[in-house]
Structure 1
Amino acid sequence: MSKSLRIASVNVNGIRAAYRKGMGDWLEDRGVDILAMQEVRANRKQVDELINDGWHLELEEASAAGRAGVAIASRIPLGEVRRRIGPEEFDSAGRWLEVDFEVEGKPLTVVSCYVHSGEADTPKQEEKWKFLDAMAERMAELRAERELALVVGDLNVGHDERDIKNWKGNVKKAGFLPRERGYFTRMFTPIGEAAEPVDGSGGVGLGWVDVGREQAGDVPGPYTWWSYRGKAFDTDAGWRIDYHVATPELAKRASNYTIDRAAAYDQRWSDHSPVVVDYAI
């Protein structure tokens, strides 16, 4: 008999601020079994004060206090934890956290990932390229090692025109650069097949599945992030940059893909909305 596991991911934009604005009420009512968070911007003691009462927690803090930070909170016990990707000299702290679980006797790996936002033609973008390279390498390994694996988080790239409301004005900006999108095309191309990224970079598929796109179909969005500036939220001028990326075997088990968009601008507790999916393990 399979167990339905509800897994949610959200960039909390600072967990202490999110809790002041109502995140705790959302979490209490949502029936989440595993929660992956990005941009936590808090230390372990501060997070423990907010998320306790039966939750198992793992936190990967950034090198600089008050920056980035990823965490996984779970109602089921945590297994092995892995924290860093890329070469030893590369600082991936606060951006990658892998946790193994055992669910109904089956091994499951969940990753909370926070990709750099980047900035075209600056050192910030160079760091993003390095992270995307390290991420692609690790995801190839994960895909080979595990039947049931899930990478979730704020990946800070819209894969194609459906993922950004105003995509034409962003083709030269970080988050929608053709080279960035190429990493995602390779990620979502069947394993070993030739990829055809928009930037012409080629490569072969890593064989992962974009659960959000597969569940939503060929539609604009649905978006997961809206700027706090202007009327972006009210006019739904958003970006779909928060993902559930699953191995094919896990993707087959996905249902009830939902973006928990706030009912109104003043009811938001983050500029991102949680992405929630049920998986039959």
Structure 2
Amino acid sequence: MGTGGFTVASFNVNGIRAARRRGFDAWLAGRQPDVVGLQELRCGIDDVGDFDGYHASIDVGSIAGRNGVAVLTRSEPAAVRTWAAHPPKARGLPAFAHEGRYIEVDLADHPLTVATLYLPKGGLPAELQRAGSLREQPDGGAKYARKQRFLAGFTRELERNRLAARRAGREFLLLGDLNVAHLEHDVTNWRAARKMEGFLPEERAWFGEITGPRRLVDVVRALHGDRPGPLTWWSWAGESFIKDVGWRIDHQLASPALARRARSVAVDKEASPDARLSDHAPLVVEYADL
């Protein structure tokens, strides 16, 4: 790694086959990150394919065409843990173990554990749902409740995994589409978003609970500073992409010592709508070498 550092990308590809048709492999070859966390592969294991120059650790889950996560590394990892093979222990999470939402690898060439998460999008609580005003039919708050169960369980599971890495002498890095924006800086139209899934007060409080100077550090916010952005998701619809109206829901949360080594952050937003690889853009952080 000639720069004396290493580069980590997190990217919700919104279907790896579609992203590859649009140019994912050219992005990967041009960017050459050392580690890549991918979310929403949305295909079977045989359809993911190989990635030139990378070893892929994958959990596609068992729901056809949904979810699926992977970690791409330069070398084969020292260990790989999926929820399918190692079901989560925290109450409420085993129900999600087959969905292809979480994978964790111990790098062979760095004292680092990298996890990738695709967190459920959720929905609105029943009292915020109004017939005819939603993209989806009112569900009485079922998707909201399911996400809340996931958040509660994952808080405990994440703490367990973070501490396990520390006991093993490893730093810890969580990558992924968490489907939660934390601060007003993270959503363009934040006032309206306060009654939208992903920016509800309880979701924002959860993000604050799992982060902090002694737990996991929101590396992107620390590097970018107290100002709007950097956005990582824009709707396919309308002119959201052109007008840069979007959300920051893709994150890199690092153990404190690793977070102090973060040098720079970039979002590889494409130049035009027709060049988009996904409705998300890759989130790339460069860290000083461990």
User: Which residue number in structure 2 is paired with residue 251 of structure 1?
Assistant: 259
- After superposition, the C-alpha distances for 1:80-119 in whole angstroms (9 at most, x for unaligned) are 112223447422331111111132xx42100110011111
User: Which residue number in structure 2 is paired with residue 94 of structure 1?
Assistant: 100
Q: How does 1:68-79 map to 2 (within 5 A)?
A: 68-79=67-78
- Residue 130 of structure 1 deviates from its aligned partner by 1.7
- After superposition, the C-alpha distances for 1:231-259 in whole angstroms (9 at most, x for unaligned) are 11111111000000000011011112111
Q: Distance in 2 between matches of 1:190 and 1:33?
A: 25
Q: Distance in 2 between matches of 1:89 and 1:223?
A: 32
CA RMSD of aligned residues (A): 1.7
Structure 2 residue 158 is the aligned partner of structure 1 residue 139: yes
Q: Distance in 2 between matches of 1:171 and 1:54?
A: 42
User: Which residue number in structure 1 is paired with residue 6 of structure 2?
Assistant: 5
Number of aligned positions between the proteins: 262
- In structure 2, the gaps of 5 or more residues are 126-140
User: Which residue number in structure 1 is paired with residue 204 of structure 2?
Assistant: 181
User: Which residue number in structure 2 is paired with residue 242 of structure 1?
Assistant: 250
Q: Distance in 1 between matches of 2:94 and 2:272?
A: 44
Equivalent residue in structure 1 for 2:278, among 270, 273, 276: 270
CA contact (8 A) 2:213 2:256 kept: no
Distance 1:111 1:119, change over 3 A: same
Q: How does 1:24-173 map to 2 (within 5 A)?
A: 24-48=25-49, 51-84=50-83, 85=88, 86-87=90-91, 89-92=94-97, 93-103=99-109, 106-121=110-125, 122-145=141-164, 146=166, 147-173=170-196
Provide TM-score, normalisation by structure 2. Answer: 0.86
- Residue 3 of structure 1 deviates from its aligned partner by 4.7
Provide TM-score, normalisation by structure 1. Answer: 0.89
- In structure 1, the gaps of 5 or more residues are 192-206
CA contact (8 A) 1:37 1:72 kept: yes
- After superposition, the C-alpha distances for 1:49-98 in whole angstroms (9 at most, x for unaligned) are xx333321111112211101111111122121122234474223311111
| Structure 1 counterpart of 2:105, one-letter code | V
Identity among equivalent positions (%) equals 42
